[in-house]
Amino acid sequence: MLLYQSLGAAHLVFSDDNRRNRLVLATTKRLESDEWVLKEPLPNNLDAWEPSYDAALWLQRGHISIPIQTVHQDDGNDDTRDQVPATPYQVLTLQLNSANS
């Protein structure tokens, strides 16, 4: 998910297979720039997790609350439930500004 800030700053939140399925926060001071700073705010592998956030908090207060839960999925099989136990649920809140980069 891409979050744009005033004056061209932007943040990209995603799960990266190359980083063992960890949540990655990429920040740039200028969207048209090739300079991005990458951070991993959590140490754990989130498997098939997909990012989402509370848009109202982002627009009103400039921070995001991201629901985090490790999600398992068999590759190519969306019809059959993966037989794994439930995983803990948490909310990661990040205060984002271009100074983070």
Mean pLDDT for all residues in the chain: 82
* Domains of the chain: total: 1
pLDDT at 38: 94
Tell me what the mean pLDDT of segment 54-70 comes to: 85
From 87, 93, 85, 28, select the one nearest 61 (Cα to Cα): 93
- Domain interval for residue 60: 2-100
Give me 69's structure tokens: 């839960």
Give pTM, 2 decimals: 0.76
Give the pLDDT confidence of 16-47 residue by residue, as tens digits: 888 888 889 999 999 888 899 999 998 888 88
The tally of CA atoms less than 13 A away on the side-chain side of residue 22 is 13
pLDDT at 101: 39
